């Protein structure tokens, strides 16, 4: 009898979980936004519904057969819906309590502060006076975030004046998302640590990666992070493992960090947490012994975790965004003809400017060459013309 | 607009094609034996029907959207059904003419003879007299095969007396499958060459592998074939490439060969052909830069072919057969706990003694260790008790 995993969300993260599920014989059922969503196109068992509807989530679990565990590809499930599921006897992984730290940045910042985890200076914001004071303290520029609902650069505003978030403050006062402000960190680069943790306690951590964000969205990931100071590597992993244990995380967690130099000492501060598979881990499909998608399923089903090591010296993942002009299949043929080793992943989404439509992945021994190959492949798929390939 | 591939067959080969299809954004639609077949469990677009029904195959193509190409996971589609599809304007890949060599061993042997490809001595058999004569010529033992419909050891009988196939001769005389007889080859081992060929002509060949057959079924594959004489390697690849070109194969082809020593000269003779993905190529999912499943889709869609090289010095694939006694999920947890690096593939089929239920794959640098790991993992999944693991 196959184990049944119910997942809230029908985007590319659910779609990319489908191969992992069928490989290990797990039945994946998803609550999708529409019958044509990225995951709905490839899952036999896709239910159209709303993640904030207790009735829709309950139906997702019912089956038959009844789901063994509920998990998520995004954080937009209200706590009361999660609590109802937990009371019904179906395991919720990560748990509602753990997940609250990924759903609400104020909850996350307060908990990290209590744990003494390094992070940017921050403060809750309820009026323009709070914000003006904070701006003076940090030297004039800061980042205001909505505590809930932000992703891919949404819900984040870099400000120098308090009146730049007047609209958000009004919304917060009227019951909308609460706000916090963080110092604008002069980071050297961004890193991400991804790990998986089972309910019975085992943790496996993938190599620390470097992530390149453009317009608040992940654009490129290099695994492992090049020239990473061993003390920074150790500190980054220690923080992620400690958070996983302290927050009792189950499943995959991504911890996004800034690498910083403070008083001449290299180190990291925690930027964001996600308790689900994550764009920073797409490289693991082609580049690691166990992908984040299979590992997440194994973790939430409390199965032994797989080897997370990299399969090649370097792996580069580059996102493909909407905006291409030519036909996608023509572009695909061009990319495959140019580079027989490139791995192309297409999400089946309608093209829209700036939307994540897929990703490409290359691996090997020469990082400089891999970066050119990944960026060229992504650019062609996005519809850019490239100069003639010197190798052809 | 996604390309649509229609595949005849709903077993594990169609199931294992599903991840490859969704990765490159191809819509896979299959004609399945039942709504609970291995592939039907994981494909949104599965149609229950019979492969020998022209109406069922026509409906498979219709959609909407209409299929761009028809392909196969088995050979059991009658030529007249294939011809009707080709006439309707949908590409059939491999073509009915090419496929006939994989459907009918008499057609295949005659064509190989015309091409001068090395193979066992053979003869068509229509009565006991033919067979008795052949048995004398080859020294007393031979292999009788039905020209059509055999697989996994079915349709094959090792005989020493002509009366051992009296039933098959009667069936052949009454319009059943025709028969041929082949010498019993004293081979050193079995090899397989797999390649893919596009309609526009490109061919990519995976490394030659060693296959171990038990009871006529593939049990284990080692990639690349250990200690392979370079001249044998070259001869094996030359034969496969020549056959692909001469027979105008499109898609993946597997050529099963015997490695032999004749008059002190090492060489190969051709045993069987298959024009589809094949058990000998399952190792490519985890072990090669491009899997046979993605390569088959790229080939039949006339997309540029991917790099076929191995990703590790050695890859070992071992089949998991039905017969296990314990619960499958308990066995799965045991295997994953013993070996964090093993890749387990489960086909979702009801356990039945001797049925292929899945496979395991390991890769790395130490072949002796990999063989132990693959065989141990398969044995546990099959329900055997193993001695205590010395490493645990």
The hierarchical CATH code for the domain B121-183 is 3.30.1490.20
> Radius of gyration (Cα) for chain A, nearest Å?
21
Considering only CA atoms, which of B148, B145, B295, B279 is closest in space to residue B220?
B279
| Best residue of A19, A200, A205, A377 to probe chain B, by most B CBs closer than 10 Å | A19
Report how far residue A335's alpha carbon sits from residue A380's, in angstroms, rounded to the nearest whole number.
7
Domains of chain A, residue spans: 4-92, 121-183, 189-381
Helix, strand or coil, per DSSP, at residue B300: helix
Give the model's confidence band at B392: pLDDT under 50 very low, under 70 low, under 90 confident, else very high. very low
User: Given its phi and psi angles, is residue B79 left (phi above 0), alpha (psi -120 to 50 degrees) or beta?
Assistant: alpha
Is residue A346 less than 8 Å (CB to CB) from chain B? yes
A45 neighbourhood in chain B, CB within 8 Å = none
Does residue A391 register a pLDDT over 70? no
Residue of A nearest to B338 (CA): A304
Report how far residue A141's alpha carbon sits from residue B208's, in angstroms, rounded to the nearest whole number.
62
Residue predicted with more confidence, A353 or A103 = A103
- Say if CB B141 and CB B181 are below 8 A apart: no
Does residue A324 register a pLDDT over 80? no
- Say if CB B155 and CB B177 are below 8 A apart: yes
CA dihedral A271, A277, A279, A280 (to 10 degrees): 60
pLDDT of residue A201: 83
Average pLDDT rounded to a whole number, residues B205-223: 95
Average pLDDT rounded to a whole number, residues B294-322: 97
- Quote the pTM value: 0.95
For residue B285, give the H/E element and its range: helix B283-287
Give the model's confidence band at B337: pLDDT under 50 very low, under 70 low, under 90 confident, else very high. very high
Query: What does the pLDDT look like over B32-79, one tens digit per residue?
Result: 999 999 999 999 999 999 999 999 999 999 988 999 999 999 999 999
Is residue B201 less than 8 Å (CB to CB) from chain A? no
Percent of chain A with pLDDT over 70: 97
| Best residue of A14, A22, A309 to probe chain B, by most B CBs closer than 10 Å | A22
Is residue A64 less than 8 Å (CB to CB) from chain B? no
Average pLDDT rounded to a whole number, residues A87-95: 95
Q: Is there a contact between B306 and A358 if contact means CB atoms under 8 Å apart?
A: no
CA distances from A250 to A197, A229, A301 (A): 5, 29, 9
Is residue B341 less than 8 Å (CB to CB) from chain A? yes
- Say if CB B96 and CB B83 are below 8 A apart: yes
Same topology for domains B4-92 and B189-381, yes or no?
A: no
Query: What's the mean pLDDT when you consider all of chain A?
Result: 94
User: How would DSSP label each residue in B96-150?
Assistant: HHHHHHHH-HHHHHHHHHHHT-----EEEESSHHHHHHHHHHHTS-EEEEESSS-
Give the model's confidence band at B1: pLDDT under 50 very low, under 70 low, under 90 confident, else very high. low
Could you name the CATH architecture of B189-381?
2-Layer Sandwich (3.30)
Q: Is there a contact between A15 and B2 if contact means CB atoms under 8 Å apart?
A: no
Report how far residue B60's alpha carbon sits from residue B81's, in angstroms, rounded to the nearest whole number.
12
Report how far residue A29's alpha carbon sits from residue B2's, in angstroms, rounded to the nearest whole number.
23
Nearest CA-CA distance, residue B220 and chain A, Å: 19
A328 neighbourhood in chain B, CB within 8 Å = 25
Helix, strand or coil, per DSSP, at residue A163: helix
A204 neighbourhood in chain B, CB within 8 Å = 340
Report how far residue B226's alpha carbon sits from residue B217's, in angstroms, rounded to the nearest whole number.
20
Phi, psi dihedrals of residue B88, rounded to the nearest 5°: -75, -5
Give the model's confidence band at A280: pLDDT under 50 very low, under 70 low, under 90 confident, else very high. very high
* Neighbouring residues of B61: CB distance < 8 A, sequence distance ≥ 6: B6, B67, B70, B85, B88, B90
pLDDT of residue A392: 44
ipTM summary value: 0.94
Report how far residue A351's alpha carbon sits from residue A355's, in angstroms, rounded to the nearest whole number.
7
Percent of chain B with pLDDT over 90: 87
Considering only CA atoms, which of B218, B336, B348, B335 is closest in space to residue B277?
B218
Does residue A389 register a pLDDT over 60? no
Q: Encoding tokens for residue A248?
A: 């009792």
The hierarchical CATH code for the domain A4-92 is 3.40.50.20
Chain B, residues 271-300, CB within 8 A of chain A, namely 289-290, 298
């Amino acid at each position: 009898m196959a184990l049944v995993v119910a997942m809230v969300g029908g985007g590319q993260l659910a779609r990319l979980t489908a191969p992992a599920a069928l490989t290990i014989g797990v039945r994946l059922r998803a609550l999708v936004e529409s019958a044509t969503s990225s995951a709905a196109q490839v899952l036999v068992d896709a239910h159209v519904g709303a993640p904030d509807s207790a009735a829709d989530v309950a139906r997702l679990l019912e089956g038959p057969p009844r789901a063994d565990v509920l998990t998520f590809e995004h954080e937009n499930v209200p706590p009361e819906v999660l609590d109802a599921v937990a009371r019904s006897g179906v395991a919720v992984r990560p748990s509602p309590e753990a997940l609250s730290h990924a759903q609400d940045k104020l909850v996350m910042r307060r908990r990290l502060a209590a744990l003494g985890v390094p992070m940017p200076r921050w403060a809750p914001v309820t009026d323009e006076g709070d914000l003006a004071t904070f701006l003076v303290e940090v030297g004039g520029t800061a980042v205001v975030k909505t505590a809930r609902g932000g992703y891919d650069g949404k819900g984040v505003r870099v400000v120098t004046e308090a009146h730049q978030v007047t609209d958000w403050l009004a919304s917060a006062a009227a019951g909308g998302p609460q706000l916090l402000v963080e110092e604008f960190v002069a980071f050297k680069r961004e890193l991400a640590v991804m790990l998986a943790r089972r309910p019975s306690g085992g943790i496996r951590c993938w190599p620390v990666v470097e992530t390149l964000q453009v317009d608040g969205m992940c654009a490129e990931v290099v695994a492992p992070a090049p020239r990473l100071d061993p003390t920074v590597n150790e500190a980054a992993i220690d923080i992620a493992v400690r958070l996983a244990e302290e927050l009792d995380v189950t499943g995959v967690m991504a911890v996004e960090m800034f690498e910083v130099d403070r008083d001449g000492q290299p180190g990291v501060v925690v930027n964001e947490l996600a308790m689900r598979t994550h764009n920073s881990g797409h490289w693991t499909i082609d580049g690691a012994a166990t992908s984040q998608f299979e590992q997440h399923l194994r973790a939430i089903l409390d199965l032994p975790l797989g080897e997370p090591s990299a399969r090649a010296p370097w792996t580069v993942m580059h996102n493909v965004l909407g905006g291409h002009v030519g036909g996608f299949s023509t572009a695909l043929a061009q990319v495959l003809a140019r580079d027989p080793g490139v791995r192309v992943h297409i999400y089946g989404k309608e093209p829209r400017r700036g939307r994540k439509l897929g990703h490409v992945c290359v691996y090997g021994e020469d990082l400089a060459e891999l970066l050119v190959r990944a960026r060229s492949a992504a650019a062609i798929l996005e519809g850019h013309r490239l100069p003639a390939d010197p190798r052809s």
